[in-house]
Amino acid sequence: MASKQASKRLAREYKTISENPPPYISAHPSESNILEWHYVITGPEDTPYFGGQYWGTLIFPTNYPFAPPAIRMHTPSGRFQPSTRLCLSISDFHPRSFNPAWEVSTILIGLLSFMTSEEMTTGSVSATAAERRVFAERTRWWNSTGGGSQSKNPALKGNVKAGDGGAKFRAEWPEVDKENWRWMTEKEIDLSTGLKQKQASCGPGLATAGGSGHQTQAVVEVVDAGTGWLGRNKLLVVGGVIFVYVLIARLLGEGEGTTYS
């Protein structure tokens, strides 16, 4: 249960961030627990996350603001392990470095700044820009469907896994969830895969991990589209050309060595 000081401070910060939200960031406390905050980061332009919708939680300690929150990002991003506590100077990994003057907006701006960098820490992962763009394209689908699942299993405390059918996201972001479903309908998104229904699944793919702490990975298949049989059998063609060349050279050589009377 939140202390009186923590409750008062977080209520004031909610008012501030609602009236003046930082760019690309929305956040609010859960109705049932003021210590549990939910945020959505919209991927900024000129980044691999552009257009992505990244949902996560801040779990504040009862003695906030004298200690920092646990920070998690639930939506697969190619930058962080989903639903894994992140080791940042603004998170509960480093309570001694936390400044009580920092607010929720300060924490989330710091998280966004770290996300768009390449610095590594506990909870972060490596991925290519192309892989991260694939994740960005499927973030709305993942948030509102729980990674394509249909089950309604409750999420574990502090964690949101693929498999809850999007129930937790829907409860915290009902209006955003409705917009996501409209978007998926307009784009003809296959609810089981997150791909367009008419789109072949031979491009970069998204695999969601089943347990917390496991890395969600993008699997990229390189396909030379439109090259046909010749493109798929380059080595065979090259080998055949070399064989014919050698055969002709030998025949010519034998011909030059023959003496006619």
87 labelled catalytic: yes
The active-site residue out of 67, 70, 87, 125 is 87
Backbone angles phi, psi at 54, to 5 degrees: -105, 115
3-state SS record for the chain: CCCHHHHHHHHHHHHHHHHCCCCCEEEEEECCEEEEEEEEEECCCCCCCCCCEEEEEEECCCCCCCCCCEEEECCCCCCECCCCCCCCCCCCCCHHHCCCCCCHHHHHHHHHHHHCCCCCCCCECCCCHHHHHHHHHCHHHHHHHCCCCCCCCCCCCCCCCCCCCCHHHHHHCHHHHHHHHHHHHHCCECCCCCCECCCCCCCCEEECCCCCCCCCEEECCCCCCCCHHHHHCHHHHHHHHHHHHHHHHHHHHHHHCCCCC
Q: How far apart are CA 103 and CA 28, in angstroms?
A: 13
Active site residues: 87
